[in-house]
Structure 1
C-alpha cells in the first residue's frame, strides 16, 4: 500500500465551488475503496491562487483507477488551475 499526496492550484474565486465537490468525491471513494481522504490547503494565496492538497493514506491496489474515475465524475478540472501533481510515499521497513 502507498500514501498519495496530490496538490494543485485553485483560483480564489473557485474555492467555494470546489470544496464541496472534493469532499463529496472523497466520501464516495471512502465508501467504494475504504480509503478516507483529507483535504488541506497552504495558508494564504499567491497571485489569486491557493495550493490545495488531497491526502490518501494506505491506498489499496486499484485505487489509482478509482480515483481517476471519481475525478472525472466530480468534474474537478473545471475548478482547478493547472495540473494535479501526485507524490507517492511508502513506509520505511524496519526489517533488514
Structure 2
C-alpha cells in the first residue's frame, strides 16, 4: 500500500512509523476493493500508546482504535481489528 499516511505524536518513537506502515499497509489484501487512502495516527499520554486508523475504500470507510503499553502492541491490536472489519466487509460484499 503506497498511500498510507502515518502521523506520530510526542513521545512516540520514530521507528513506530515504519512498523505501522508495514503492518497496516499489508492489510489491503483483505479489502473488498482498492484502498483509496489509509491514515494511521499514533499518540501517547506517556503511559499508553493510542493508535487510530482509517481506510477509505470506494464506497466504505473502515476505522479502528487500539491502545497498549507499547507502540508495537498498539499497532498489532489495531491491525487485527482492521483485518477483522475488512474480512467482514469482504464477506458481505461478496454475498
TM-score, scaled relative to structure 1: 0.34
Relative contact order (C-alpha < 8 Å, sep 6+): which is higher? 1
TM-score, scaled relative to structure 2: 0.34
